Structure 1
Amino acid sequence: MLIWHDPYNETDTLVILLAELSGDSTVLDTTDALADALDEEDASNPVLCLYTRADIAVAERMEQGDTATDAVETWADQAAFLLGKQRRHRRRVTLVDADLVRNAPVEFLDWLKLEDSESFAPDPAPEGDPVLLMIAELALQANPAAQSLAEELQAASVTFSETGLAAPALPEAALDRYVAEKATLQTALRARESEIAKLRESQSLLTGQNRTQNMELSRLGKELSQMETRLAQLNQGLDSYQVQVSTLQEKLRLSTDRLADKNQLLDTLAEQLKQRQDEIDRIMQSRSMRLTAPIRRLGRLFRRPGP
């Protein structure tokens, strides 16, 4: 197995753990190396690409000296590269958010068909500088192309849940079809039961019922059994879907709460930034700064190199 990661992001330890646990693995840390490996390696050798969420990746590059614009463009180029390779080598390349691996290590090992090991205990994702994260989010929002790439990357990636690989959300139309099919079967079942009751009544009145009537009764009995079995399966499936819907609703609620917390943090940071700017403005407009302005200009004059 080939494992690719971005060395600019905090995924080194995670990749080392995966490589040690999987045994025969090759670690790649550049897009050129990944491209060469996909062209040269055995087509049956799977490739696992661990990437970092857009805002975190941009903030980490900013922390290393990139401007917000350059960081977003660099991340967008990398995301477009990964999506292109995933489309071209769909059966080989799998995209995984590193945060999901950290949050669901057991499910991730099950998905890779690797034995669970206590040695695979990834460190939690670094929290990062909240100010840089806020700037990264604003820079991404200002770049519609990058936003689109982030959404496409997330849609093309493997997701996990507490029960393993996360199944796609059941569309409302499909749920409605199951409910409608159940109601139709119940109606048909009642009709069959009524028909069987009539036949049995006729059988009690006509002691000389012929063989054809007996065969018809047997056929209806089989159909009734099949309908009851199908109805039981539909009831079981409907219960399962209802549990999934409840789980998704709870996750949505938690996501909404987390979003509210982030919005509150942004408001706090904005207020702190405004207070600091006001303090700087007061200092720059103070009487002492105006009185010492000639001295600062003389200092700059004397520090100026001669001809």
Structure 2
Amino acid sequence: MDGAHGSIVGYQRFPVDSGGSMEHLVITTGFSHSGWSRGLAALARDQFAEGVDEILETWRAQAAHDVSVDTIGAPPLERFGAWLESVEPGRTILSSDERDLWLLDQWAEHYPQARFLLFYTDPETALIAALKAGADPADFLDGWRASVHRLVRFQRRHRQRSLLLDAESARLDPQAMVEAAQRIGLMLRLEEQRSQTDEDPVFERLVARRWLERESDLVLLQAELEAHAYPLGECSVVADPDVDQLLELYRREQACHRRLTAERDAQAGLAEENANAAKAQSKLAAERGAELERLQERLSALEAKHTALETSRQQLEASQKQLETRHKTLEATHKDTVEENELLLLQLHQVQEELESQFLQSKQQVETLSAEKAALAKDKEALTRDKVSLTAARDEQSKLAAERGAELKRLQERLSALEAKHTALETSRQQLEASQKQLETSHKTLEATHKDTVEENELLLLQLHQVQEELEQYFLKYQELKGLEDNSDADTTTASDATLLTEKSEAKPPSQAPKNHRRKRPPALKSGGFIGKKRKERQRLERYVTIIRESGLFDEAWYLSQYPDVASAGYDAIEHYVCHGIQENRHPAPWFDTAFYLERNPDVANSIMNPLVHYHQFGKAERRPTRRGY
């Protein structure tokens, strides 16, 4: 009984001269992990009554929390006394707790009729028990010293009420312990003796003896203990373990080590497989982490709903239906996005076909020139190389579109698998909760896919604009070639120039109006070609310029009048707002406050999306305010 419960508190009634009876408490305790309770193993348990531990637990826990406090306080007298009255007279009470070692003074003060059996063990026996319990030897011996001083001091002050006994001697000769207990008026009975053979702790004994060779002061403490203890008999001295015992112990430990090693390796293999799976999941989560940041605020609201839905199954099913409806909406949105992507690809192919047609026409006109114009022939070869480059770019875009289509197909397959799992998990509340999490995962994946598709559409549209710009450059080069031809045939050149100007005007998109070309462009929108530095950022800004111009939300006249520095610098109002106006908290119209919109919508502020574009595509439908009081 050397755990948290290691003391015995006995209550017994003894006759007195007055003819009545006087109550006695018999308290038995010792130092933790020292093996002291082995001396009580032979006592008959039927003479003890149980039930006092719960009453004394809080009081003892306070003592264990801070044993340095001399006055912990009195035991719970009212409850303990009431419990004593309920015990059958003539019986003894059992309450096992080794923390009574630090409460001896409190017991002696509040129960003057108490009797005490104080057990100790010699340093070697105590250290062996501590090593088997896994205690640190140095810390244990420090505590053992403190317990010895406390036991000796208490025994000196209460010689008539206490006995100090060697626990090992009491275990070997329990009858002598019973006779010694009668000296303080305690009548104990023994159980029927049972043969019990303890395994000799060979390794622990060898370590304990080597350790105690360095602790010379323990010999004096042991002598002081024996001087104050009641002698119960001599204990036999165990000799040092011989080589055969150590070898046998070593072989058993080796066999145990090999078995544990095999088990550890098997567990390590399983742990490695789990770790690999966890790494794969972590990698996938990291790849999706950047895209999911923008959706955290919306998902937090959904998580709050999930917490509330745990109160009842009916509410959980209602939330399930809401998520299914939202899931279908995302699928419809995804389908619309795919159709828009296909339309953009079709427009790209049409522009490329127009480019090829224009090139063929230019080639035919160049062939009509005289053979003596060698410079024009060289320019023709340059134009041919440009055609090859544009064709390669077109093939690359087609390949990219095919890859994106395959990726969308894989995502649709994964979505179908998730929906099948979702349907199967509706059988119970726990399965509904698991299905809830899977639908959340599907929801996040679809929104991330939607974002990727939107970005791809923007990229394709910007690439379409770039192809048109390249077409314009090509026409400019061709005009230069035609300028050389003017020296020989002025009339033919005039007709060709008119034709080229007509074709160029038809090829230009609505967003590239002539008045915009006359204005100065911000540095962030200056073209750097297909391999220009920060090309993707410039394409994103140009996409925002196109969306804002087509939306009709931007008041260009108001912007230039409100910010005359922009007009004086010669910048286009919409391009200046997209590149610089947002950072400078400028407003695109009197009804739209840029700083207020970003402050009220942290999801927009934490993203790279233009606030006016966000309002046009989402905020207007969601009825988000654009300025204070509006």
- Give TM-score, length-normalised by structure 2: 0.25
The structure showing larger relative contact order (alpha-carbon pairs under 8 Å, at least 6 residues apart) is 1
Superposition TM-score, scaled by structure 1 size: 0.48
Task: Compare CA radii of gyration and give the structure with the larger one.
Answer: 2
